[in-house]
């Protein structure tokens, strides 16, 4: 049981390049989330998904796209990277609130450090 994994762990991009961050979870969770963490600002929600094939915008969605083609995977895409997207990105997953057996808790991956030059 690996929990939540993220690929890659580190990446350096040039302005305008594109890339995709992969998040995978093996806990059969319905909900998945992408956050970014910046110094002095805590974690901010970018996009989230409440099930396979669904996505929704969070607090800071601009410049990012996501897809949830499979229940266990949640992809975060940057089509044209900008220096303002330099950050640490965290993926998380959870069961829906009050679902049978749910701990009502998010499980986080180890993070991806992205630098955009």
Q: Which residues bind other proteins (CB under 8 A)?
A: 31, 33, 35, 40-45, 48, 50, 58, 88, 90, 92, 94, 96-97, 104-111
If the CB atoms of residues 17 and 88 are measured against other proteins, the closer one turns out to be 88
If the CB atoms of residues 27 and 50 are measured against other proteins, the closer one turns out to be 50
How far is residue 86 from each of residues 10, 24, 116, measured CA to CA in Å? Answer: 11, 22, 5
If the CB atoms of residues 16 and 96 are measured against other proteins, the closer one turns out to be 96
Report the nearest approach of other proteins to the CB of residue 12 (Å).
17
HEC string for 74-102: EEEEECCCCHHHCEEEEEEEECCCCCCCC
């Amino acid at each position: 049981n690996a929990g939540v994994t993220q690929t890659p762990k580190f990446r350096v991009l040039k302005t305008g390049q594109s890339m995709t961050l992969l998040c995978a979870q093996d806990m059969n969770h319905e909900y998945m989330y992408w956050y970014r963490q910046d110094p002095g600002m805590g974690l901010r929600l970018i996009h989230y998904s409440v099930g396979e094939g669904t996505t929704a915008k969070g607090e800071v969605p601009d410049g990012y796209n996501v897809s949830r083609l499979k229940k266990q995977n949640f992809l975060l895409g940057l089509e044209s990277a900008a220096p303002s997207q330099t950050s640490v990105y965290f993926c998380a997953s959870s069961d829906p609130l009050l679902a049978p057996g749910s701990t009502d808790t998010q499980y986080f991956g180890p993070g991806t450090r992205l630098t955009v030059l």
